[in-house]
Amino acid sequence: MIGLVYNSQSPATAKMVETLEKSVHFPSDHWKCAAGDLEKMSDVLPETSVIVVAGGDGTILRIVRVIAAHGIPMVGINMGRVGFMAEIPVDEAVGKLPDYLDGASRIEERMMLEATVTGSSDSKPRLVLHALNEVVVGRGGVSGLLDIETTIDGVPLTSYRADAVIVSTATGSTGYALSAGGPIMYPETRAMLIQPVAAHTGLSNGVILPDYSVIELHASAAHESVLSVDGFADLKLQLDDVVTIKRSPYTTKFLRAHAPSTFYAALTRRLGLEIL
């Protein structure tokens, strides 16, 4: 079974899905929906073998939260601004999509993160979320820096005095972490990155960790702090909350026809880098 998912906030993506339905031979039991309605498709997701996404990276991040537990691979039609994850150019979608669906592609697996929130009186985490890009502990709507105590595998690393601390996957290294001055990692790298945002004290450089690391973040009580996961699910943290981040049991799977080295060309093009 094939699913077609589009960004409901962009009419062009819905039209693209309609064009695909008219031009590509999908099985009769295929289904389609807006990304925001994907949770309502829980009855068909276990039987779905691939999802075609019309949208940008933001649409993919929204979808991942729903389908990661099902292990469904995606193929993305790039209708966003950057498109590090969506591989097929929109003007080539009709001609190239059948090749992906007929097996002329490989499966690329991306590591994900699991973030849990636990208070001092909680016997178990009260919230568990999974991220493809990053987990962020940052300040809320008020001004002022946070002191974010950071521990790795039970060993204190530092207390960042900063706007936020990002814990990123290799996929997320080209997102928020990059804008904060972090390094770029090849997207299939099994590693985690700790990157502070506007650090005033503590480490100002990013720290790359192996994928089996367990990171704990605890923000001071001086200012309101929030948790953000892939840019969604902003949660106000309580004073005694600890955010624990480790490798997720889930991965995100993409269908890829291009060689792995294509990432470097995409990086040069999409970041506007100039080769002399």
List residues with catalytic annotation. Answer: 57
Which tokens sit at 74? 């995606």
Q: Please name the residue that has the structure tokens 């699913």.
A: 3
- Both tokens assigned to 151: 């521990």
Question: Tokens for 121?
Answer: 């009186």
Tokens read off for 69: 């537990």
Q: Specify whether the CB–CB gap between 77 and 254 falls below 8 A.
A: no
Give residue 37's Cα distance to chain centre.
18
CA-CA distance, 188 to 149, in Å (whole number)? 29
Which three-class secondary structure state does DSSP give residue 269? helix
